[in-house]
Amino acid sequence: NNQKLDLVRVFTLVESAKDPEERKQYNEAMTFISKNKIGNVIFYMPDREARNSTDLETNARKVKRGEFILHYAHDRKCFHKGTPSGERLSRAIHGALNGNYSDVLAERIFDGTTEKAEQGWYPGSHPPLGYINKHDTDPVTGQTKKRGCTIAVDPNENNVRIVLREYELRAQGLSLEDIRQKIKEEERARRLQVLPV
């Protein structure tokens, strides 16, 4: 590369978490950088670094103290302790915009998912136990559509019974793991009872 830097380690940040404490991969990377006194930190794009003002300001202080130099590969920019105040302001503004984008995206996803759920859509390919994907019927041809379905109660009465039993056990204060074990035991005993002798 143009900077003549030696690559020490690569961290892949695929998490979407915005809050500092939820960015586990990011925090692991920054801990490694601090512990090993890495002098140059490269992010492909600014939004990989700054998802919130806390991380943005923390790194700005570290850069100002000369702990490391920040590089953005895609933009071919770097920030160091001698970076002019105007460029630091630009970085802060872009960081705020990235944080706002995360907020807006989260709101849209929540609103869209809520609306679909209210219409009977389940946000996933496999509905939970006790429910099934009910494929829509074309009103003109009467044929079942290959795409498009709503969630409906499972016609399998045994599955519905298990779900009701899970709620009952939860109401008794059992943990999720205890409920899982209890259901397994009860289902095993029930199958033994119905098997022909």
pLDDT tens digits for range 20-54: 777 888 889 999 999 999 999 998 887 778 777 88
What integer is the mean pLDDT of 185-192? 86
Q: Name the strand (E) or helix (H) holding 13.
A: none
pLDDT digits (tens, 9 = 90+) for 55-87: 888 899 999 999 999 998 888 888 998 898 888
Is residue 18 over pLDDT 70? Answer: no
Residues 6+ apart with CB under 8 A from 127: 133, 151
Residues 6+ apart with CB under 8 A from 137: 143, 144, 145
Looking at per-residue pLDDT, the higher value among 70 and 148 belongs to 70
8 Å CB contact between 64 and 82: no
pTM passes above 0.75: no
Distance CA(54)–CA(28), nearest Å, equals 16
- The DSSP secondary-structure symbol of 22 reads G
pLDDT digits (tens, 9 = 90+) for 125-135: 677 888 888 87
